Amino acid sequence: MRALLSLTRIALGGLLLAVIGSAAEKPLEIFFVDVEGGQATLFVTPAGQALLIDTGWGYNGFRDANRIAAAAKMAHVKKIDYVLITHYHADHVGGVPQLVQKIPVNTFIDHGPNRESSKQSQTLYAEYQSVIDGSNHIIAKPGEHVPIKGMDMVIVSADGNVIDDALAGAGQANPNCEGVEQKATDPSENARSVGSVITFGKLRIVDLGDLTWQKELEVVCPQNKIGKADIFVVSHHGLDQSNSPALVHALQPRVAIIDNGSKKGASPSAVDIVKSSPGLQDLWQLHFADEGGSEHNAQDPFVANVTEADTGYYLKITAHEDGSFEVYNPRNKFSKTYPAVWVNGLDTRRP
């Protein structure tokens, strides 16, 4: 009887460990939803929580809200725990009123009051405020963490402010700052974007919203306060108002993804900077950019939408805590796996 009990305990213990191991190995899923030149990036953590960065456009027959809801359904989530609005431009915040009619949202995150005086921005902000009135609301501050379960997300820029202190493991002098071009200060909401660094195990993702050139330099010059990235969500849809070499080359991303449209974003000069970044393996795009031609676009397998037609294909990342991940393109069923690069605590990509 004692032997039987011992065997039973061993079996139950093994089953418990298997269940725990299975739960621990669940991936992080990321959907780059096509909102035609805006942003809507859905993160679904192994803990089952969902974070949406921006909501795309409004006033388009629920196109963007429907696409976000479809991505959530694919990820088997019935609500969005956090919606983070990087800034109050139509291609980022415009879709909020329609989104909440399609899927419940628990908490909204933003940088605080709108800082633009144009009629459009005031209207967008008023519509957003009317939706979030009475909801859970967090005002993002540099250095603070978003309380989402299953991944770590730290705010590095918000409302024109950036982190004072470097993130853990960062803070090295940035040689890419030497001689970098200086541009005029941007007074728009873009420069007030909520930027973040997301860590999932050994994987690091950088998304700075539409943060513009001079504000980028405050984050990475003369010291790189945010360190390197495995995945870089190319700033500002790949426009040349952002994406300074001081930023992009300091990040040294393995993979870069551009939330562009066929006629918006992926500026040739910005694409060239991204492509020339040390250690970059691949560039992925939501659309083939008409302006760039074949020379200034990703290769066909890495582009979700290749014609101007409103095809609406997304890109999906399935990521693991060891730092490995897969990018999948549903248009052509093409996928590519990027293996883990950490061996015995060292990043084998770089000396």
pLDDT digits 0-9 by tens, 45-84: 999 999 999 999 999 999 999 999 999 999 999 999 999 9
Q: Please write the tens of the pLDDT for every residue from 139-190.
A: 999 999 999 999 999 999 999 999 999 999 999 999 999 999 999 999 999 9
Residue with tokens 């309380």: 147
Q: What is the DSSP letter of 84?
A: E
Mean pLDDT of 103-112: 98
Whether residue 75 contacts residue 87, with contact meaning beta carbons closer than 8 Å, is answered with no
Specify the pairing of strand 136-139 against strand 105-110.
parallel
Label residue 208 by pLDDT band (50, 70, 90). very high
The kind and range of the H/E element at 223 are none
Q: Cα-flanking dihedrals φ and ψ of residue 191, to 5°?
A: -70, -10
> Which conformational region is residue 18 in: left (phi greater than 0), alpha (psi within -120 to 50 degrees), or beta?
alpha
Helix-strand-coil percent breakdown of the chain, rounded to 5? 30, 25, 45
Mean pLDDT, all residues of the chain: 92
Task: Determine the topology of domain 27-347 in CATH.
Answer: Metallo-beta-lactamase; Chain A (3.60.15)
pLDDT for position 139: 98
Q: How far is the C-alpha of 259 from the C-alpha of 151, rounded, in Å?
A: 22
Q: How many CA atoms lie within 13 A of 190 on its CB side?
A: 21
| Domains in the chain: boundaries | 27-347
Distance CA 30, CA 45 (A): 9
283 has pLDDT over 80: yes
Phi, psi values for residue 217, rounded to 5°:
-60, -30
Q: Are strands 255-258 and 282-287 parallel, antiparallel or unpaired?
A: parallel
Tell me the chain's radius of gyration from C-alpha atoms. 21
Residue 16 is inside which H or E element, if any? helix 2-24
d(CA 252, CA 281): 10
d(CA 233, CA 4): 56
Residue 21 near residue 248, CB atoms below 8 Å: no
> Of 280, 322, 153, which Cα lies nearest the Cα of 226?
153
Phi–psi pair at 158, nearest 5 degrees = -170, 135
pLDDT tier, 235 (very low <50, low <70, confident <90, very high otherwise): very high
Strand 50-53, strand 334-338: pairing: unpaired
User: Which amino acid is located at 214 in the chain?
Assistant: Q
Cα–Cα distances (Å) from 112 to 109, 148, 166, in that order, read: 9, 20, 23
Confidence (pLDDT) at 25: 83
Mean pLDDT along residues 15-36: 73
Whole-number pLDDT of residue 309? 85
> Which pair of structure tokens corresponds to residue 270?
């910005």
Per the rule left: phi > 0, alpha: psi between -120 and 50, beta: everything else, 300 is: alpha
In angstroms, the CA 7 to CA 201 distance is 35
Give the pairing of strands 28-32 and 50-53.
unpaired
| 335 DSSP assignment | E
